[in-house]
């Protein structure tokens, strides 16, 4: 067992933890980052699968994500736009596949009017929500004790409009069924992205990708931190007191004045805290749970859908793959489609064997793009649900009523233990932008506390 002493121990080498460590070291504090996996990046992971470079986790960058954009700039990373020329596809409640351009799905006039009214109502409510404190909204309790689905149904009797608006937050963002989270949680998702209209606009929310992959962010930060990043070091015990912390991994023990817990709060229960965390936090963390989505990559010898004037963008709340996009990697002549299978549908296909699941998912893509979609040269499913150190995707959210009940305490430091994770962010919630914001905030809080202690 190696024992080292640092000013700060950071647990988790995702975007949040590495941002915090980098900021702290820049300000003159010594750090050790302990990472359970044998790689950095957490939910950011670029890998080569059967010769194809795939972004297995997070990848898109949108204009509101200013903290991430600043980091990309600082690290000298360049972005490229998602391919979006041509028509998008939508399959409605009647089962018919329709082509469209713009944001609004090609639905009947009545459904279009109902969707427009719902979006306007949600935009107005979102404008009243502070993403860093959604519980402060005057109607927070009422909005947090009704499911998003029930709230939508109370606003509109148009089933297709409700299904579509639910899709933007449920299948596409929180990756939970719309009956499983509150209207307030949905408004937080929208407020964290600037407006509900931003969630509706794929060209905004899925705007650009990073050349070389978004995992470059944690990789380059880790490179700067060098030997201060320890891989294969899962922390299983954290002793804490006003005097400092001791973080224990199987072969390494770090004594420090402060700790940053930079992992999904759903994984805190894997760490033995001594003494146990306060009652409130022990309760709070149990009211958060991970969503679940399969990100499916299908690589073809060429982007054949473009020949038919299709952008590759497809949506349907009634399809196994509820959304899909052209995900062709920068500089590649081969074409890639990425599709998403969310929540209960993901559970269902995981009851099938791998071949049957692949067939079912490719059939769903073929129903959008034609028979050629059944024959990719590379096929890969990102399955974060089976990843020991993540256990779901994209991120964690509160159960019904949890956000207003526990939200005000979500990010509060616990003695010398500070928290940083995208799943606990306000602005940038559930995104790399939020992870970076949380990493910066934890570092700033620790610096303030360290300076205060030095002045005493
Ligand atoms: P993250 O989970 O990345 O890092 C935590 C780290 O802690 C991990 O490395 C983990 O191994 C480690 N750890 C856990 N327990 C530990 C222990 N006991 N000891 C030591 N280490 C431990 N975002 C976005 O902006 N654009 C996008 O397009 C997408 N798309 C997307 C797709 C998919 C499939 C996923 C899974 C996620 C996204 N996201 C996304 C979300 C985005 O990837 C995510 O919000 C951030 O990467 C989370 O960064 P954090 O550092 O907060 O946590």
308 phi and psi angles, rounded to 5 deg = -95, 10
**pTM > 0.95: yes or no:** yes
Question: Which residue has the CA at smallest separation from atom 52 of ligand 1?
Answer: 421
Q: With left for phi above 0 and alpha for psi between -120 and 50, is residue 11 left, alpha or beta?
A: beta
Find residue 315's DSSP bridge partners: 90, 323
Question: Distance between CA atoms of 407 and 163, rounded to whole angstroms?
Answer: 28
DSSP state of 147: B
User: Which structure tokens are listed for 349?
Assistant: 């296909």
In the chain, what are the domains?
Answer: 2-41+215-277+414-455 (3.50.50.60), 46-84+205-211+292-386 (3.90.660.10), 108-202 (1.10.405.10)
DSSP state of 278: P
Question: Distance between CA atoms of 38 and 380, rounded to whole angstroms?
Answer: 21
Is residue 198 within 8 A of residue 190, CB to CB? The reply is: yes
Residue 235 annotated as part of some ligand binding site: yes
What is the DSSP track for 71-140? HHHHTT--EEEPP--SEEEEE-TT--EEEE-SSS-S--HHHHHHHHHHHHHHHHHHHT--TT-GGGSTTH
Give the list of residues 6+ apart from residue 127 with CB closer than 8 angstroms, or none.
Answer: 195
Question: Which residue has the CA at smallest separation from atom 40 of ligand 1?
Answer: 58
Q: With left for phi above 0 and alpha for psi between -120 and 50, is residue 239 left, alpha or beta?
A: beta
pLDDT in tens, the chain (456 residues): 899 999 999 999 999 999 999 999 999 999 999 999 999 999 999 999 999 999 999 999 999 999 999 999 999 999 999 999 999 999 999 999 999 998 889 999 999 999 999 999 999 999 999 999 999 999 999 999 999 999 999 999 999 999 999 999 999 999 999 999 999 999 999 999 999 999 999 889 999 999 999 999 999 999 999 999 999 999 999 999 999 999 999 999 999 999 999 999 999 999 999 999 999 999 999 999 999 999 999 999 999 999 999 999 999 999 999 999 999 999 999 999 999 999 999 999 999 999 999 999 999 999 999 999 999 999 999 999 999 999 999 999 999 999 999 999 999 999 999 999 999 999 999 999 999 999 999 999 999 999 998 898
**CA–centroid distance, residue 342 to ligand 1 (Å):** 18
Cα angle for residues 181, 357, 96 (degrees, 5° grid): 70
Pocket test residue of 382, 394, 418 for ligand 1, highest count of atoms within 8 A of CB = 394
Residue-wise pLDDT tens digits, 278-330? 999 999 999 999 999 999 999 999 999 999 999 999 999 999 999 999 999 99
Find residue 5's DSSP bridge partners: 255
Whether the CB of 439 sits within 6 Å of ligand 1: no
Atom of ligand 1 nearest to the CA of 434: 45
- Asked whether this complex has an ipTM greater than 0.90, the answer is yes
From residue 296, give the alpha-carbon distance in Å to each of 55, 61, 156, 360, 381. 10, 19, 33, 12, 5
Question: Which residue has the CA at smallest separation from atom 12 of ligand 1?
Answer: 12
Whether the CB of 60 sits within 6 Å of ligand 1: yes
Whether the CB of 21 sits within 6 Å of ligand 1: no
Q: Residue 50 class from Cβ within 10 Å (0-12 exposed, 13-18 middle, 19+ buried)? A: exposed
Residue-wise pLDDT tens digits, 252-265? 999 999 999 999 99
Whether the CB of 394 sits within 6 Å of ligand 1: yes
pLDDT of residue 350: 97
Question: Distance between CA atoms of 312 and 258, rounded to whole angstroms?
Answer: 48
Whether the CB of 290 sits within 6 Å of ligand 1: no
Whether the CB of 392 sits within 6 Å of ligand 1: no
**CA–centroid distance, residue 384 to ligand 1 (Å):** 10
Cα angle for residues 105, 395, 171 (degrees, 5° grid): 25
Atom of ligand 1 nearest to the CA of 43: 3
Residue 100 annotated as part of some ligand binding site: no
pLDDT of residue 283: 97
Tokens 């209209």 belong to which residue? 197
Residue 233 annotated as part of some ligand binding site: no
Residue 110 annotated as part of some ligand binding site: no
Is residue 225 within 8 A of residue 25, CB to CB? The reply is: yes
Atom of ligand 1 nearest to the CA of 428: 25
User: Which structure tokens are listed for 153?
Assistant: 């149904």
Atom of ligand 1 nearest to the CA of 420: 52
């Amino acid at each position: 067992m190696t024992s080292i002493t640092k000013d700060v121990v950071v647990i988790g080498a995702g975007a949040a933890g590495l941002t915090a460590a980098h900021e702290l070291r820049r300000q003159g504090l010594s750090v050790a980052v302990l990472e359970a996996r044998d790689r950095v990046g957490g939910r950011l992971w670029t890998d080569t699968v059967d010769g194809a470079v795939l972004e297995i986790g997070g990848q898109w960058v949108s204009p509101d994500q200013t903290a991430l954009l600043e980091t990309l700039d600082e690290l000298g990373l360049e972005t490229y736009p998602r391919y979006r020329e041509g028509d998008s596809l939508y399959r409605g409640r009647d089962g018919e596949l329709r082509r469209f351009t713009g944001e609004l799905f090609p639905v009947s006039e009545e459904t279009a009017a109902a969707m427009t009214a719902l979006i306007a109502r949600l935009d107005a409510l979102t404008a009243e929500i502070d993403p860093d404190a959604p519980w402060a909204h005057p109607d927070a309790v009422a909005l947090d004790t009704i499911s998003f689905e029930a709230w939508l149904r109370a606003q509109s009797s148009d089933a297709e409009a409700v299904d579509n608006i639910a899709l933007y937050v449920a299948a596409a963002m929180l990756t939970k069924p719309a009956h499983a989270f509150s209207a307030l949680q949905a408004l937080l998702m929208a407020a964290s992205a600037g407006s509900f209209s931003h969630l509706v606009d794929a060209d905004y929310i899925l705007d650009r990708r990073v050349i070389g992959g978004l995992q470059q962010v944690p990789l380059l930060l880790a490179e700067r931190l060098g030997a201060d990043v320890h891989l294969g070091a899962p922390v299983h015990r954290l002793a804490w007191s006003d005097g400092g912390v001791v973080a224990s991994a199987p072969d390494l023990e770090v004594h420090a004045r402060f700790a940053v817990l930079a992992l999904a709060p759903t994984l805190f229960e894997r760490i033995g805290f001594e003494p146990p965390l306060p009652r409130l936090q022990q309760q709070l963390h149990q009211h958060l749970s991970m969503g679940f989505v399969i990100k499916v990559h299908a690589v073809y010898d060429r982007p054949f859908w473009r020949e038919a004037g299709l952008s590759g963008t497809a949506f349907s709340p009634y399809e196994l793959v509820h959304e899909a996009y052209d995900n062709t990697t920068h500089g590649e002549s081969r074409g890639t489609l990425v599709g998403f299978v969310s929540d209960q549908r993901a559970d269902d296909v995981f009851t099938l064997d791998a071949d049957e699941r692949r067939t079912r998912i490719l059939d769903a893509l073929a129903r959008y793009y034609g028979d050629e979609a059944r024959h990719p040269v590379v096929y890969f499913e990102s399955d974060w649900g089976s990843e020991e150190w993540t256990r779901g995707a994209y991120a964690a959210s509160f159960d019904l009523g949890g956000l207003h009940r526990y939200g005000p305490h979500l990010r509060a430091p616990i003695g010398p233990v500070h928290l940083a994770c995208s799943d606990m962010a306000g602005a940038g919630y559930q995104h790399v932008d939020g992870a970076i914001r949380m990493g910066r905030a934890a570092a700033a809080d620790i610096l303030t506390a360290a300076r205060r202690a030095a002045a005493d």
